[in-house]
Structures are given as structure tokens and as C-alpha cells.
Structure 1
Amino acid sequence: MPFPASLRLRTTSIALFCSIAAPAMAVQVTDNLDLGGAIRARWDVDPDRDIQKFGLDTVFLSAKYNSDSWIGEAQYRFYGRSYPYQYTKNYGDIRFAKFAWVGYKFNPDQQVQVGLNTVPFGLQPYFGSTFYETLGNVIGLEDVQQIGTKYIQQSGDWNIQAGYYLRPAWQGKGTSKGVTYSSVVSEADSYVVDGSNNQERNTVVLRVAKALDLGPWKSEVGISGLTSSIENKDTNKDGRRNAVAVHYMGKNGPWGVQLQAARQQMSPRNPGSEEVVTLGGYDGTYNVASRGNLYVADLSYDVGGKYLFDQISGIKLYANYSAFDKSASGFKTSERMILGTSFSVSKLWVATEWLFGKNDPYIGGSSYTQSLGAGGLDQWENQLYVNVGYYF
């Protein structure tokens, strides 16, 4: 079965705290238009499964437009052939868009975005400092792009973001029924036991955050809410998806902290079990418990200075823990812990992460299709992951 890679490039965003960012080296075509992209390699090591793979990870092309009034962003990604997509013949056999939106700035503090843009839920732009992302990503709450309209307003210390999304991203090309950048409600592939066929529509989301000083900590506290309809294509009945989150992020010199607690509750109208909903992305589909709590904690430290003849810079050390505590009786909690560092080496950007997972579909060979549902191996597994990218 496919074993897609839950790996994401960290691009810059409106959030200023605690995020990691690859070096920006886009080609400036005009005063307003930048074209760029990246070529990334990855190294996976898991001695318990006799895995030691090095190969091409991702190629993506991007465009950004920014003027006094008009803004926009587009990015398209290519995968295939190399691990974990060795089941495909050619590079590019798996491909999909991350962004495709245009926007208008009414003034420096107000803008609207239309198209495939990021859903403003919880910690932004990501639920922590990691490259691999948290369990929030694979349950469909972190780093999610959908098609719709988002309004952003900065009023003093307050940041308000509201969005209405008609549907998830368009399907790209691949071997699965889940071929999107984001993890979204999907039709299950045939290999997913107790899989469902739902479509998410009419997502409404609101995020309100306030910047404040807590002693020496430059902080942000916020609350987010999301609701949508999920139509089951077998029963032709509509259920709902609701989620709420509270978050804190702070910066004190080189130290960064991010904390979040979220509740996700889906009420599908499946013909079978309603305790799980199938999600998909990155050329795969899998079951997720329909009800549960997500907890995230992230601690980071920025190492100043340049090293090795000024070739190494921008060093960040971080530790991240996330857990998905499911409500259904007998469902096993999924946990993920990441210890890592990111840094620049000349024109390359490197992330090295030691991954620990329990009932995690992407770490240590636990059940890909059921770990986020009823559970997988229910024991801690670990592996090493390194990503090296050249950004242009």
C-alpha cells in the first residue's frame, strides 16, 4: 500500500513567533513578482525495519506577487520514484498544488485572500517548530489549505482571521484517492478497512488572537473555532465536523514556547462505523477517530552566530510533543515526539529530526490505515529523518 510522506516545507507567514524558515532566494522577476522553488533530498534511517534510504524528496515551483494593493501566491509540488514513493515509476507521478490564491490589501492592516489558501486555525503557521509537523497535521487541523475566501484584520494587538471555504483542494495526480498537500476528509482507498466516503463542504472558521507581554515574554494567546458539513456519498446524509482550539506562543530572547489544546468532533453519517472518518493526502488514505482531543507542546532555542568559516548559521534546536486522545472506548492514544535541529549550510537548508511515535501512522511501521483510529502497534517506535534543500 502507499506510505506517503507527511513532510512539509516551512514557508514564511504572518506569525512571527517560533517558526522555522528556509532561506529565501527567489528570483525577483519584477518589483512585485518573485519566482522560486526548491529541490530537496531526504535520508530515512530505521534499523528496526532495516531501512536506510537516501533520495530525491521534493521539487516544487512557486510564485509570489506583492504590490501596494494586490497579493498572491501559488506553489506546485512533484514527488515519486524515490522512497517512500518507490512504488511509482517516474518522478512526478505524484503531484499536487499547495497554494493558488489571489488577494487584495485594503490597507496595511486589512486584506482578503481568494482561492486555495491556508485555513486559519490554531497556532500559525504551524503547530510547532518541527519540519515533520505534529499529529495535528494528519488529523486535518494543521497546515490545511482549502478553496475559499479568508479575511485578515490587524487591529492594534488583536489579529482576526475569518474564512469560508467551499471545499478542500483539488485532487492532484497519484495512485490514491487522497492526492492533496493537506490532510482532508476523503473517499477511502480499497485497502482501508472500515473506510468511509465523505466530502467536506462549507467550512466556516474564525481565529482571534491577541499579542501581549507576560514579563519578558513577547506572547500571543488565541482561540479558534471551525465548523463544516461532511456529506456521506453512500447514505447521501450530511454530518458535521466541529473543532475548537486555544493556544499560546511566546518568545523570550532565544527561547520559544508554543502550547495548544484542541477538540475535534466529527459526526459522520457512514453506513458502517461512525467512530472513524477517512482522511487522505500525500497519495494515501487512512482512518481517523471521529472524536478526540489534540495536545501540543513545543520548546525551541535559537543559537546565535555563524560557524565553520561562517558557512553554518540560523541554528534552531527544538523539542515537540503532540498527542491525540480519542474519545471512543478502546481506541488507543496516538503520540508523537520530535527532537530536532534546523540550520543553513551555505545555500542549503537542513532539518535533522529524531522521530518517536506511538500509534503513529508515519513512524516506526505502525498501522498506516488504523493508527489514528483504533490504534496500531501501541508501543513507542523511533527513526531518524534528515531533509536537505536547495531553495531558489
Structure 2
Amino acid sequence: MIKKLTILATIYSLFSLSGNQTLYAQDKLEVDVGGALRFNYNLSSWKEGQKNRGGDFGYDMFRVNFNSSYKEIYLNAEYRLYSEAFGGGFLKQGWVGYHFNEQDEIQVGLNQVPFGIQQYNSHNWFFNLTYYFGLEDDHDMGVKYLHVDDRFEYNLAFYKNSEELTFGGDSESSPNRYSYDVVGRNKEVNQFNGKLIYKFGDSIKSRLGVSAQYGGLYNLDTKETGSHNGLALHYEMNVQNWNIKLQGMIINHDPKNLPGESDEILQMGAYGVPYEVASDFSVYTAAVSKSIPVKLGPISNLEFYNDFGYMDKKVDRFEDSFMNVTGVLVSAGKVYTYIDYAAGYNHSWLGGNFVDDFSVGNPDAKWEARFNINIGYYF
């Protein structure tokens, strides 16, 4: 963050937002203001018109971050502006936190759900396959307790619901959001999460963890509440300039739909558009990266990576989904550029028909790919 305002502690109120940085107890009110502006180029194998003109280059996203702290209380949030086609503007995260001490804190508001490898289960701009089912960098409305010490980390959380924008008695959840959630005629409610990480190793630093979640699915038509649950086993290793992430998840949904409506498929939504996802599935991911410090003009580091994901749908007649992204992150001062070759099979964002690739799928589908360059200035 390059802009810092120090305000006397006698000022009573503040509104602020932030990314991952945490500010500890301060005698004066501390405020950091930052953000990012990103542009994107892409060339997709399944878009003939785009191939004919050599791809497209345009606006991706503008965001504003604020972060503040006064004594043990802090405020953290991030607001993003996308094009109208991708949902427009929405809050990615935003919570009020309190530090009990250097190891324990509580967060209330729109905070990251403690499930699986965090903050990201990936290295690339597209994330891993887990993101597209609300299982990576997901944020919901609730309260979370965090403990971090030298050997263990654990989180306990309760989420009343995902982002709620309308507050109507029978209003569907809007897909205008950053992270994927259940939308349509079912709504996520009353979700409990628990996560435990054991840290070990010196030259090879390891993080072995297990995560669990259980919550309700309220159906707007039947007025009944079904359920959903998930279990994840995850491992992350850092050695020298290498990072490795391995993860397996079992996910189940049991909606109480109207008679005759399938309970094998759910609607999930983000970025303004919903799509179908299989109700029950397992997802397995493996991600590896290698950072290489360099001196190439303004370029100081190159991070090469490969992130792989496989979705195993429990219904036999459904076609499974795959994703693989190979690329490099180029760091040059405040400019970060992701250069990715992203390939997908029965993947809504990578060559599919978007509607049912993550549910029924297409047995005649073929692998499609997108060459993508995302350029961001972070301040």
C-alpha cells in the first residue's frame, strides 16, 4: 500500500477495506488505502471470430482496498468494479475484526470461508477448478474465530448465509457476486465450518490440514430446508523457491425441491450469470510453482506454475470435468502480469456451452484452451 493516512485516535468513526494484511493494536487510528487496475488479453480456441482478429484486449477490473486499525479493533474490505456483463460492482470481502491477543482474533461480516487451502488453492489468474464450485476464495456472511501459533492453526465459523442483496421473503440469491454460491430456488443458510492445520518442518515447511462444513439449503418453493456438507484433506509445502499444493474434497448437496424436480443438479452463480453444477462430486487438485528471482529491467521475479483440477461427478451418466493451467507470473515493481495457457474439458469458462458443463456435461466434448495475459497495477 503506497498511500497511508495517520489520523488522531480522537476521530470516532471510519470506513475501511483491505486484502490480506492485518494491522495490530495501535494507539492512533491507522488507515491504508490501495487498489488495483487490471487489463486482459485473451485468445480462445473455440471462438472463430476472435481467432480471425487475433484475440481481444480490454478492461478487466478496478478495485479499491481500505484497511484500518485502532487498538485491537480493525476493519477490512475490498470493493470491485467489473463490466456489466460480469456483474458490475460488488463487495468481495468486508469485515470488522477484534484481536484478543497476537494469536486469536474474531471476524464479523463478509469473510473468507475456512475450507481447504487458503488464501488460494492455485497460482494462476484463473484459480483452480475448486473456485468454480465456491470452494476456493469463497466469502460468506457470518462470524469466524481464528487461532494461529507456531505449530497449529484452527478456524471455527458460522455463516448465516452467502451474500444477501435483496432481503425479500422469496427472493432468489443474486449471481452478482465475486465467489460462487448456490443460487436459483435454493439458498445457503446456517453453515458451520471447522478447519485445523498442523505445521511442521524447517528447511521444508509443511502445512497438513483437514476442513469440514455443514449447512442448510432453503428451498423457496417447498419452504423446506435441505442440507449440504463437505470434507477436505489438504497439504501445502514450501521448500526453497518451490510451492506445492495437494487437495482432495468430497462435496454433497441434498436440496428439498418440488416433486418431479431433479435433486442431482444445483444452480450456482457469480459474475452475473448462473450455471448448473452436479449436486454430489469429489474434486482433486494438484498445483506446483517455482519462483526465480531475476534482474531484467524492472522485472524482479518470474514464478512458473502448473495447476491441475479434476471433478469426479457421482452420477455415472454425468461427464467429468477437468482443468489445467500452465503459466508464469511476471513481477515488475507494482505491476504483476499473469501469462496463462488454460485448458478445460467440460468446463463452462473454457470452451463449454456454459450452462451444464459442470453438471451433465457432454461426452463428445473436446479439450479447449485459452491463451490469456492479465496485466495489473497494484497500489
Q: TM-score range by the shorter chain?
A: 0.7 to 0.9
**Identity across matched positions, percent:** 29
Confirm whether residue 262 of structure 1 aligns to residue 249 of structure 2.
yes
Work out which of the two has the higher radius of gyration on C-alpha atoms and give 1 or 2: 2
Is the partner of 1:244 in helix, strand or coil? strand
Unaligned runs of 5+ in 2: 7-28, 167-172
CA contact (8 A) 1:320 1:339 kept: yes
Shift of 1:71: 2.0
Distance 1:389 1:285, change over 3 A: same
Counterpart Cα distance in 1 of 2:212 and 2:71: 31
Quote the Cα distance in structure 2 between the aligned partners of 1:177 and 1:305. 44
Find the counterpart in structure 2 of residue 192 from structure 1: none
The match for 1:21 is: none
Show the counterpart of 1:199: 187
- The CA deviation at 1:317 is 0.5
Once residues 109 and 350 of structure 2 are traced to their aligned partners in structure 1, the CA distance between those partners, rounded to angstroms, is: 33
> Residue type of the partner of 2:135?
L
Question: 2: CA distance between counterparts of 1:306 and 1:171?
Answer: 47
Aligned position for 1:7: none
Which residue, 324, 334, 338 being the options, matches 1:347? Answer: 334
> What does 1:289-308 align with in structure 2 at a 5 Å threshold?
289-308=278-297
Alpha-carbon distance between aligned partners in 2 of 1:133 and 1:323, rounded to the nearest angstrom:
13
Aligned to 1:5: none
Structure 1 residue 276 and structure 2 residue 265: aligned? yes
- Aligned-pair distance for 1:37? 1.1
Question: Higher RCO, 1 or 2 (CA under 8 Å, sep at least 6)?
Answer: 1
Partner amino acid for 1:105?
H
On the 8 A contact 1:219/1:248 being kept in 2, the answer is yes
- Secondary structure in 1 matching 2:130: helix
**Mapped pair 1:37 → 2:8:** no
User: TM-score, with normalisation over the residues of structure 1?
Assistant: 0.84
Would the aligned equivalents of 1:170 and 1:180 in 2 still touch at CA under 8 Å? no
Q: What is the Cα deviation at residue 345 of structure 1?
A: 2.6
Q: 1:130 aligns with which of 124, 132, 135?
A: 124
CA distance in 1, matches of 2:199, 2:176: 37
Which residue of the partner structure matches residue 71 of structure 1? 74
Deviation (angstroms), 1:124? 0.7
Q: How does 1:1-392 map to 2 (within 5 A)?
A: 25-30=1-6, 32-50=30-48, 51=50, 52-80=55-83, 85=85, 94-171=88-165, 177-187=174-184, 197-213=185-201, 216-271=203-258, 272-308=261-297, 311-364=298-351, 366-376=352-362, 378-392=365-379
Is this contact kept in 2: 1:96–1:171, CA < 8 A?
A: no
Aligned to 1:9: none
Following the alignment from structure 2 to structure 1, what is the Cα–Cα distance between the partners of residues 161 and 46? 40
Please give the alpha-carbon distance, in whole angstroms, between the structure 2 residues aligned to 1:361 and 1:210. Answer: 35
CA distance in 2, matches of 1:296, 1:355: 15
Change (3 A) 1:36 1:358: same
Contact 2:286 2:308 in 1 (8 A): yes
Q: Secondary structure at the match of 2:296?
A: coil
Deviation digits for residues 184-207 of structure 1 (CA, Å, limit 9, x no counterpart): 0101xxxxxxxxx10010110000
Shift of 1:67: 4.6
CA drift of 1:232 comes to 1.0
Change (3 A) 1:206 1:26: farther
Partner Cα separation in structure 1 for residue 294 and residue 314 of structure 2: 47
Instruction: Show CA shifts across 1:105-147 (max 9, x none).
Output: 0111000000011001000111121221111111111111001
1:151 is matched by which residue type in structure 2? Answer: Y
The Cα shift of 1:344 comes to: 1.8
SS of the residue corresponding to residue 71 of structure 1 reads strand
Tell me the CA shift for residue 171 of structure 1.
Answer: 3.5
Q: Which amino acid aligns with 1:66?
A: S
Alpha-carbon deviations, 1:15-45, whole Å to 9, x = none? xxxxxxxxxx341122621011111100111
Q: Using the alignment, how far apart are the partners of 2:103 and 2:343 within structure 1?
A: 41
RMSD (Å) for aligned C-alpha atoms? 1.7
**Structure 2 contact 45–369 (Cα < 8 Å) conserved:** no
Which deviations, in whole Å up to 9, do the C-alpha atoms of 1:58-113 show, x marking residues without a partner?
A: 011110123551222111111116xxx3xx9xxxx711100110100011100000
Counterpart code for 2:190: N
Distance 1:47 1:225, change over 3 A: closer
Q: How many residues align?
A: 343
Relative to the length of structure 2, the TM-score reads 0.87
Distance 1:65 1:346 in 2: 24
Q: Distance in 2 between matches of 1:71 and 1:313?
A: 33
Stretches (4+) displaced over 4 A? none
Q: Which amino acid aligns with 1:102?
A: V
